[in-house]
Amino acid sequence: MSMDADPNVTTLVTVLSSCSSLRAFKLGKAVHGHCLRNVHKCNMILDNAMLDFYLRCGSLVAARYLFVIMPKRDFVSWSSMVGGYAHRGLCEEAMRLFQQLVLGWEVEPNEATIVNVLSACSSVCSLSSSQQVHFYVSTQPDLMVNSNVGNAWINMYVRSGHLGMAISVFKALECKDFI
């Protein structure tokens, strides 16, 4: 990237997003290299864009390394990483990360994190893992009534062969939707 003016964070995030969509791994790595060589270190928005880039391009090792060395992580960082593991069916890794998050690391899990970890559990039919998540969610009133979380519960229970539990969750939902 040789230019007269350095691109700002917004430009770099946009370029990384395009690289993610196009799966342009070499170009995205070049953008990452540019960021490392310039003053764009320690910018959480840019770090999250790079994390998303590596996850979308299938480089879980690079994403995990970036996640570990990030000086600060927010709910986007955590949800992205949990989702990356879930997308690849790596329930144990997703659960380990979720447990670190619940134990007080930096931020509280949000709706996206819960949906991602339930997706990981449903992909490998891990009822015991999902029960750990269920316990956490039961302590969070806002998550208990969330229809996206409820739909993820129903999906997880159906995929793991627990239709009765899925029906119970459906009946308990305050807002039922078509999903």
pLDDT in tens, 21-41: 999 999 999 999 888 887 666
What is the residue whose two structure tokens read 């960082």?
Answer: 77
Residue 84 and residue 94: Cα distance in Å, rounded?
8
Average pLDDT over residues 113-132: 73
Residue 3 has pLDDT above 80, yes or no: no
Residue spans per domain, the chain: 1-72, 85-179
Residue 119 and residue 155: Cα distance in Å, rounded?
8
